[in-house]
Amino acid sequence: MDQLKSEQDKLSSPTPTVFTDGSSVVTARQITNVKGKSLNMKIETMRDPGSRTTGDAVGPVPHADYIACDASVSCADNISGVTIDGDIDMSVSVKTSQVHAGTVDETLPSSQGPAVKMIIEHKVELIDCLMADDVFILQHVHAKRIITDRNYQRLKHISQPEKTVINLIDLVIAKGQGPCTLFLEVLKEPDILMTYPQLRKLPIIIAQQ
């Protein structure tokens, strides 16, 4: 009963936070007072052959109302007052990609890359610096396509700067070596260093200069 109330509270929240990585899916659809002959709410996603077991998340995961990691699916749909005369499809499927694991290049997510480890090691200091202007760093990371449009829309609606930055950094870490390398490059840009002068004192920046 308490768990049901908790889910209802999340759904009634004006801006529930969502975190997904890779090909994971979170749905929080509101469907009310609908009549029809059929209802199709089928969800499909694809996982890489070499990825971890669905839902078996390893490493840092941002705090959010709804979280889906490693090609998992999290459903928090709210359906009420719906009358369907025919078929209802609410199936969920996670398929394995046909691309052989050996063909995946080194730019795909890797939790073992040096850029990933560097960001994790200096995560607290980065949060302290970047939360001074969470919108500015978010704009730059989005402009460099390090995060998707969907990621950007979710992050920009978080009202607390510290939480925005924490979720942003955790998201970049979850994306792996390639995005983490690009993120470090963004931190060295002149306008970023001008906006966040404390970054110049961090080993993570000094080591790259």
Q: What is the pLDDT of residues 102-123, one digit of tens each?
A: 443 444 445 568 889 999 999 9
- Measuring CA to CA, which residue among 133, 136, 139 is closest to residue 151? 139
- Six-digit token pair at 11? 């759904």
- In this structure, of 25-34, 78-87, 101-110, 114-123, the range with the lowest mean pLDDT score is 101-110
**Unique residue bearing structure tokens 């709210």:** 78
Residue 4, class by beta-carbon neighbours within 10 Å (0-12 exposed, 13-18 middle, 19+ buried)? Answer: exposed
Q: Calculate mean pLDDT across residues 65-80.
A: 69
Best-predicted range by mean pLDDT (45-54, 77-86, 112-121, 188-197): 188-197
Report the pLDDT value the prediction gives residue 55, as an integer from 0 to 100.
45
Which position has the token pair 């110049």? 200
Stretch 169-197: mean pLDDT: 92
Q: How far apart are CA 66 and CA 35, in angstroms?
A: 28
DSSP state of 13: S
Residue intervals of the chain classified under CATH 1.10.533 are 114-206
- Classified as helix, coil or strand, 88 is strand
CATH class of 114-206: mainly alpha
Q: How confident is the model at residue 205 (pLDDT cuts 50, 70, 90)?
A: confident
pLDDT at 46: 62
Q: What is the amino acid identity at position 71?
A: A
- The token duo for 15 is 């801006």
Query: What is the structure's pLDDT at 203?
Result: 82
Secondary element (H or E) of residue 186: helix 177-187
Secondary structure of residue 89 in the 3-state scheme = strand
